[in-house]
Structure 1
Amino acid sequence: MNVWDARFKKAADARLNDFNSSISVDHRMYAQDIKGSCAHAMMLAHEGIISLEDSLSIITGLTQIQKDIESGVLAIDETAEDIHMFMESELTKRIQDAGKRLHTARSRNDQVALDTRMYALDETDKILTEIKQFINVLLDKAQENLDTIMPGYTHLQRAQPITFAHHLMAYVEMLKRDLQRLQESKKRTAILPLGSGALATTTYPINREMVKEQLDFDSVSLNSLDGVSDRDFCIEITSALAMLMMHLSRLSEEIILWCSWEFKFIELDDAFATGSSIMPQKKNPDVSELVRGKCGRVYGDLQTLLVMMKGLPLAYNKDMQEDKEALFDAIDTAHLCLTTMIPMLESAKVLKDNMRKAAAKGFINATDCADYLTKKGMPFRDAYRIIGALVSYAQDHDKTLETISLNEYQQFSELFEEDIYEAIALETCVQMRKVIGGPAPEIVEAHIQKVKEELGAIA
């Protein structure tokens, strides 16, 4: 039975009910629905719109329903239209007429908007906690690898020497921005829509500020049309999650490369790798590959929300029922990826010697060799040209910059002296880059400490 049956002369087709139903998706918001309804009932009594006795019956009844759902005594009826109608129906069964008074001065439109915002806020807080946990794992790994030299890359070609700590801290900065975006999104999510009614508020003397305080929202929506039709917060949160997933995907791509025999920079713990059904030697980074794949899934969720909203007139339209599945999927995917990647990276073994050996190849100290000449007074472009010729010479003679003799160096420039070998040592190349943001161990360690302080300051 539908709440609108009294208006219609013909019963709804079962196919319509199935198509119209959203309880398979929105049932997860039962706790938020109950919390919002309790706040609404309390306000109605406070303003004399319903009796205190009815208000207490509603709150007691809803509290018991939540206990029964969570204990397994009460199963959510999957044939109900949505979680909101299920709650109202169940409450009315239990407390009769008092339950029918709960919906006074509100519409399902502002009720749904409220529940979705409350759920989004709760889940955003969980994801923020998980991102902080992930950052802490990266900080610990970086602290352990301040002196672990590896090649830095551009175009996936060896470029200049850095440290593994410096590389990991790049992802820390990305994740910090993800924290900021999600925290900012909470400000625009914590706007109370309840009291907007279907679209034009209500004639009852409700107290929206009281409900705002009870539910710990930051503010009250100032236009009822916008209050029920705004889904910017869903789009904003999903956009922030899409960027988070992009960062997780980029790191996953590097983990996949680092695990390969071609790199062999890290080794995943057996608990976070898989094997092959036919090749017994295989150890596959399936977690990272799945994260990389799931990134596209969240991109799809964002696109769904944007396209859903782009042509809707004010105020509420049934299209907006599609918001929750996309939002929930983005949230679930981010949770799943974070909670799996955290222990995977935490348990991974860093193969420091392999990183050092890779850094010794590819002439990644060529820039430092050019800088050596410029510090002796040669213009950088002239030094660049000389070192380019020197690298070509070394390749032709199967040598490296470290194994070229001083006599050979001086054939290219008389400015080369014995101290060239110290200047181009990989450890020197890294340690001398003491600019803020650079790979020198003391700079990276200061960066680590700064982030720890920042995380401590984040509530």
Structure 2
Amino acid sequence: MAKKAWGGRFKGQTDPRVETFTESISFDARLAEVDIRGSKAHSSMLAKIGLLTKEERDQIHSTLDEIKSQIDAGKFEHVTSLEDIHMHIETALVEKLGDVGRKLHTARSRNDQVSTDLRLYVRDAIKEIDALLIDVQKAFVTRCEIDKETVLPAYTHLQRAQPVMAAHYWLAYCEKYQRDRERLADCYKRVDVSPLGCAALAGTSLPIDRDFSAKLLGFGGVASNSLDVSSDRDYLLEFCFSLSLISAHLSTWAEEWIIWFTTEFGFLKLPEAYTTGSSIMPQKRNPDVLELIRGKTARVMTSVTQLQILIKSLPMAYNRDLQEDKIAMFDAFDTVRACLELVPDMVVGAELRTENINARLEEGFLDATALMEYLIKQGVPMRTAHHTVGQMVAECEDRGCRLADLSLEDFQKACDKIDEKVFDVLGVQNAVAALQSYGSGGRERVAEQVAVWQERLGL
């Protein structure tokens, strides 16, 4: 029991099955770097207030660096009886330094130590995800130039609705990922608070300097209530929720491209490197990467529920239940990161099959709304205009023609306010050119937004 942090209270040995049941080294080993970072800051603070000498601090720092080198080289042994990465590192430190190593945990509990490590880890994770989201945004903006002349049908209810520039689609995803970045930045504010020095739950009688250690670790501030921060996992839930929305946006994009890749749509050609084949049908090329991005969304979204249930009804302050928090967060982070790493090359490497798109672009009466708005400009009440165009669409369906194929006489039978200028808004190219409201999918407005995004992303 001597190597256990709590061994002094106990006379007997822990059941090996309990050691296996309670260990977390199998999943929290990845916290080694932030644990060492936190320990260096803590020992520097202890030296500042005189609870360690400068020589002892330097010994601790150099030995922690040695331990990190062992870990990085894969030569650091994990032992179930030592429970977690924190005790592994501390035990190795004590084995090398004896009593000097035993001083490191002064004015610190594993409760505030773990919370500090998690916050440091999540801060780094937020920065990494943000950088990956920027890469995705850049890929979509790059596509805007490639597809700047292409018009696409936009859909509601998966039915053709109105025409938009292809770049309008790409920038729509940039907007979604920008909101994701803003959510992460907001989450970062609540992560960026140091719990170090709150100890188990009540603080300490020792004259520590929490501001000093917080500054060394780059925290924006220190937690003001030791009871709250020792049990707080709100920031993990918030981080996972942010990841779940990123995943949802990735899934929306994946679903759309899966549909576009079908023979029935034929809008999209995916790079071969991001598709797979069939074990029995030799002609198949399947969008498996996109399908897995869509499928992995379930894992990320589940992490939010997992954490919500975990923290529900926990009495203050720390409870061992919280050991399980890392599993949900690590998996959500790993999953979203893996997805985002694949997206930019897929986006830039894909091709719109413009010959297929253009061949059917006039189908579906994409110019019907433009015709209705033309009537409104002629003084026809909106509901009347809507009804009138609906009747003309029905007539075109009966004839098997487009709105642009109707004669001026046909139009004037439907509404006597129609003149020859009606043909300036009919047809997909005219309809998309007529769109002029800020944020719309029209040619000029989209070009403006492309320029905005190019400047924003430094492209």
**TM-score, scaled relative to structure 1:** 0.96
Matched-pair contact (CA < 8 Å) for 2:20–2:80: no
In structure 1, C-alpha distance between the alignment counterparts of 2:309 and 2:56, rounded to whole Å: 43
Aligned counterparts, 1:94-243, within 5 A: 94-243=96-245
Number of residue pairs matched? 457
Give a deviation string over 1:268-319, Cα, whole Å, max 9, x none: 0000011111111111111111111111111111101011001111110000
Which moved further from structure 2: 310-319 or 355-364?
A: 355-364
* 1:261 equivalent among 250, 263, 282: 263
| 1:294 matched residue in structure 2 | 296
Q: Which 5+ residue runs of structure 1 have no aligned equivalent?
A: none
SS of residue in 1 equivalent to 2:230: helix
Give the C-alpha shift of residue 76 in structure 1.
4.0
* 2:379 equivalent among 358, 362, 377: 377
In structure 2, C-alpha distance between the alignment counterparts of 1:301 and 1:381, rounded to whole Å: 47
SS of residue in 2 equivalent to 1:419: helix
* 1:364 equivalent among 363, 366, 383: 366
SS of residue in 1 equivalent to 2:277: coil
SS of residue in 2 equivalent to 1:161: strand
Matched-pair contact (CA < 8 Å) for 2:194–2:214: yes
Give the C-alpha shift of residue 180 in structure 1.
0.2
Aligned counterparts, 1:252-401, within 5 A: 252-401=254-403
Which moved further from structure 2: 185-194 or 397-406?
A: 397-406
| 2:411 matched residue in structure 1 | 409
In structure 2, C-alpha distance between the alignment counterparts of 1:210 and 1:354, rounded to whole Å: 64
In structure 2, C-alpha distance between the alignment counterparts of 1:135 and 1:144, rounded to whole Å: 15
Which moved further from structure 2: 33-42 or 398-407?
A: 398-407
In structure 2, C-alpha distance between the alignment counterparts of 1:186 and 1:252, rounded to whole Å: 28
| 1:439 matched residue in structure 2 | 441
Which moved further from structure 2: 435-444 or 375-384?
A: 375-384
Matched-pair contact (CA < 8 Å) for 1:275–1:284: yes
**TM-score, scaled relative to structure 2:** 0.96
Q: Which 5+ residue runs of structure 2 have no aligned equivalent?
A: none
Matched-pair contact (CA < 8 Å) for 2:367–2:425: no
In structure 2, C-alpha distance between the alignment counterparts of 1:452 and 1:398, rounded to whole Å: 43
Matched-pair contact (CA < 8 Å) for 1:272–1:285: yes
| 2:63 matched residue in structure 1 | 61
Which moved further from structure 2: 340-349 or 2-11?
A: 2-11
Give the C-alpha shift of residue 381 in structure 1.
2.0
In structure 2, C-alpha distance between the alignment counterparts of 1:452 and 1:185, rounded to whole Å: 26
In structure 1, C-alpha distance between the alignment counterparts of 2:7 and 2:105, rounded to whole Å: 17
SS of residue in 1 equivalent to 2:104: coil
Matched-pair contact (CA < 8 Å) for 2:150–2:166: yes
In structure 2, C-alpha distance between the alignment counterparts of 1:353 and 1:412, rounded to whole Å: 34
SS of residue in 1 equivalent to 2:403: coil
Q: Supply the RMSD in Å over aligned alpha carbons.
A: 1.5
Aligned counterparts, 1:54-93, within 5 A: 54-77=56-79, 80-93=82-95
> Are residues 1:34 and 2:26 paired?
no
Whichever residue aligns with residue 214 of structure 2, its letter is K
Give the C-alpha shift of residue 354 in structure 1.
2.2
In structure 1, C-alpha distance between the alignment counterparts of 2:151 and 2:323, rounded to whole Å: 52
SS of residue in 2 equivalent to 1:359: coil
Matched-pair contact (CA < 8 Å) for 2:151–2:163: yes
In structure 2, C-alpha distance between the alignment counterparts of 1:75 and 1:381, rounded to whole Å: 75
> Are residues 1:450 and 2:452 paired?
yes
Moved over 6 A (4+): none
SS of residue in 1 equivalent to 2:42: helix
Give a deviation string over 1:207-244, Cα, whole Å, max 9, x none: 11110110000000001111211101101100111111
Matched-pair contact (CA < 8 Å) for 1:49–1:204: no
In structure 2, C-alpha distance between the alignment counterparts of 1:406 and 1:352, rounded to whole Å: 31
Q: 1:343 to 1:75 in 2, by over 3 A?
A: farther
